[in-house]
Amino acid sequence: MLETISSFLHDPNIVFLLFIVAMIGFYTEIAHPGIIVPAVIAALALVLFLFAAVALTPNWIGLIFMLAAFTLLILDLHLPANGIFTLIGIASLIFGTLLFFQNGDPQTGLQILPWLVYSMSGLVGGIALMLLFFILRVRRLPVTTGVESMVGAQAVVTTALRPIGRVRYGGENWEAALDQPDASLEEGAEVQIVAVDGLRLQVRPLYAQQQQQIFSNNDRPSSLHSHEA
């Protein structure tokens, strides 16, 4: 049984696949922290990789390029490189792997298969670019929580704004003030939140008709005064 496992781990192609599993596992865990399972699988694969690699008398300089490839993939997650580091990392992975396994297994004469290196490197690159695409897409979504999400939202007047009153937003009752100090707006009117000042919302009428209503209400007292005069 042990001899079977040992001969299995002497195949440079299997050793390379162990490194790929470790690379994908750690990359997934770093990209989406908290999953844990990929990290556990990656740690086990990395231990087996190091154990088997020693017996192959590899070129350890190649391992530096392979680890550099992983580092570049991680950097692409946190820096605005938009996939450039990932592409460079895949090239580094291919070069490093061919260099690392250039001697193959001196006991069995097995050599690394170039097509396996290219296909697995392409798989890693595809996974990395796909995750990077979704991460960038999420980062570009508008803010949906906190004060920033309230600006631009709609609310309904529950207590007439003259110019201070109350509005209903998100199922909650807020103190609000019109952005025009000399204006007023009746209950039931719809308003748009333009700013948040502590626990008070700054709002303005949502529709042009309401804005006209405000101005007509403001003009009414002056016209009455003119009639009295």
Total domains present in the chain: 2
Domain endpoint, select from 116, 139, 162:
139
Sequence-ordered list of residues with C-beta below 8 angstroms from that of 223, at least 6 positions apart, any chain: none
For residue 193, the cross-strand partners are 203
pLDDT band at 209 (very low <50, low <70, confident <90, very high): very low
Helix (H, G, I), strand (E, B) or coil at 194: strand
Examine the domain organization and report whether 106 and 198 are in the same domain: no
CATH number at residue 154: 2.40.50.140
| pLDDT at residue 197 tops 50 | yes
| pLDDT at residue 182 tops 90 | no
Closest CA to 206 of 176, 175, 171: 176
Examine the domain organization and report whether 51 and 114 are in the same domain: yes
pLDDT score, position 151: 82
Cα 204 versus chain centre, distance: 34
pLDDT score, position 5: 63
pLDDT band at 216 (very low <50, low <70, confident <90, very high): very low
| pLDDT at residue 210 tops 60 | no
| pLDDT at residue 108 tops 70 | no
Examine the domain organization and report whether 30 and 122 are in the same domain: yes
Examine the domain organization and report whether 160 and 109 are in the same domain: no
Domain endpoint, select from 139, 173, 193:
139
Examine the domain organization and report whether 123 and 189 are in the same domain: no
Examine the domain organization and report whether 60 and 167 are in the same domain: no
Examine the domain organization and report whether 162 and 215 are in the same domain: yes
| pLDDT at residue 23 tops 50 | yes
Examine the domain organization and report whether 13 and 90 are in the same domain: yes
| pLDDT at residue 39 tops 50 | yes
Average pLDDT value for residue range 125-129: 90
Examine the domain organization and report whether 106 and 12 are in the same domain: yes
Q: What is the CA radius of gyration of the chain?
A: 32
Examine the domain organization and report whether 60 and 135 are in the same domain: yes
| pLDDT at residue 185 tops 70 | yes
| pLDDT at residue 145 tops 50 | yes
Examine the domain organization and report whether 85 and 198 are in the same domain: no
pLDDT band at 36 (very low <50, low <70, confident <90, very high): confident
pLDDT digits (tens, 9 = 90+) for 41-87: 999 999 999 988 888 888 999 999 999 999 999 998 888 778 899 99
| pLDDT at residue 32 tops 70 | yes
184 vs 4: CA distance, rounded Å: 86
pLDDT score, position 144: 53
Domain residues for 37? 2-139
Domain endpoint, select from 123, 139, 155:
139
Examine the domain organization and report whether 97 and 199 are in the same domain: no
